[in-house]
Amino acid sequence: MFKTIGYFRTRQEALEALSNYQVAPPAPKAEITLGDLYKEWSEIKFPEISQATVNNYRAAWKYACKLEDIKFKELRSGHWQNVIDSCKEEGLSRSSLKKIKTLATLLYGYALQNDIVNKNYGEYIRLPKEEKKKKDIFTDLEIKEMFNQVNLIPWLDTILIMIYTGMRISELLSLTRFNVDINKGVIVGGVKTDCGKDRVIPINKKILPYVQRWYDEKGESLICRKDGNPIPTKYYREKYYYSALKQAGIRQLKPHACRHTFASLMAQAKVDPLYIQRIIGHADYAFTANEYTHPEIKVLEKAINKI
């Protein structure tokens, strides 16, 4: 049985094509369309990844499927760029555009493995420049107002603790009394990254009375309910955090604004950026609980009390 590999103008061109075919014959899936390739890839990939990631790829496919009837080997970066540019004009966020590029790159990776293409055109897709958004922080006047009302409004002290430690809301609520050394004036805690875990945070003198007050509650967690039980992050945010700000007449910025405010205050006080990174846990250097008697803790303490 004969197979046609093409039609050529001269015998020489036909012989060259035959030679190339014998050296590198087309892959069995060479004629596959983007739609069929995506289906095949997703059936293999999706069972291996989280549902959240699956949802991201499916969301990206809703835009990429405009090209589904084109043979994958015929797709070039320009096809994908047109999809990206049209989606941008429709107001799609850069984050969503990036997911489309990621999907394209992964599909090309799968196609390379199956000898359907010999280049990953997904890598050449251009995304719009990322716009840096100005991070909201509490103003000096707002912080002063918190101190003025801290003994009148419940939970306002916990907001000040976050502002003067740079801790995330989840980090604060996961603390226990064993994370606090009142005598040495430090908190040992933190989550999320290796640099953030078990970092040492000197307690600023301005918030020491509030930390002490919670410490004396002797609850299961440092910041706790009246019965001593821990507080879920979502519950604290919705029932206590925003309520305290509202009662104090202060903008209801997101809890993470406390962390940004801390970094801003430290920068304004001209604290060495290295010390800021070590305290908030953004450096490659992890200052752990096992090292917190190190003389450098005095330097960090001096730094944090500049704000």
Domains of the chain with bracketed CATH: 11-124 (1.10.150.130), 140-304 (1.10.443.10)
Q: For 131-152, how does the pLDDT look when each residue is reduced to its tens digit (9 = 90+)?
A: 777 778 999 999 999 999 999 9
Tell me the angle at which helices 94-113 and 51-64 cross, rounded to the nearest 10 degrees. Answer: 90
Pair 203, 185: CB distance under 8 Å: yes
- At 27 the pLDDT is 58
What 3-state DSSP class applies to 299?
Answer: helix
Rounded Cα distance between 13 and 52, Å, is: 51
Tokens 């990953």, residue located:
120
- At 287 the pLDDT is 40
The one-digit pLDDT tens for each residue of the chain (307 residues) are 555 655 667 878 766 655 555 444 455 688 899 999 999 999 999 999 999 899 999 999 999 999 999 999 999 999 999 999 999 999 999 999 999 999 999 999 999 999 899 899 999 999 998 877 777 899 999 999 999 999 999 999 999 999 999 999 999 999 999 999 999 999 987 654 444 456 889 999 999 999 999 999 999 999 999 999 999 999 999 999 999 999 999 999 999 999 999 999 999 998 888 888 888 875 443 443 343 334 567 788 888 988 8
Q: For 256-275, how does the pLDDT look when each residue is reduced to its tens digit (9 = 90+)?
A: 999 999 999 999 998 888 88
pTM: 0.57
Rounded Cα distance between 262 and 186, Å, is: 16
Query: Kind of pairing, strands 199-202 and 180-181?
Result: unpaired
- At 243 the pLDDT is 97
| CA angle (47 as vertex; 29, 123 as ends), nearest 5 | 55
- At 112 the pLDDT is 92
105 closest CA partner among 84, 129, 130, 132: 84
Which segments of 207-306 does DSSP mark as H helices, in order?
208-215, 233-235, 242-248, 256-268, 273-280, 296-304
Rounded Cα distance between 122 and 38, Å, is: 14
Burial readout 269-290 (b: 16 or more C-beta within 10 A, e: otherwise): eebeeebbbbbbbebeebbbbe
133 closest CA partner among 273, 270, 256, 280: 256
Task: Please classify residue 149 by burial: count the beta carbons closer than 10 Å to its beta carbon, then call 0-12 exposed, 13-18 middle and 19+ buried.
Answer: middle
- The alpha carbon dihedral of 171, 177, 182, 188 has a sign of negative
- At 195 the pLDDT is 42
Tell me 228's DSSP state: S
87 closest CA partner among 61, 57, 69: 61
Tell me 118's DSSP state: S
- At 134 the pLDDT is 73
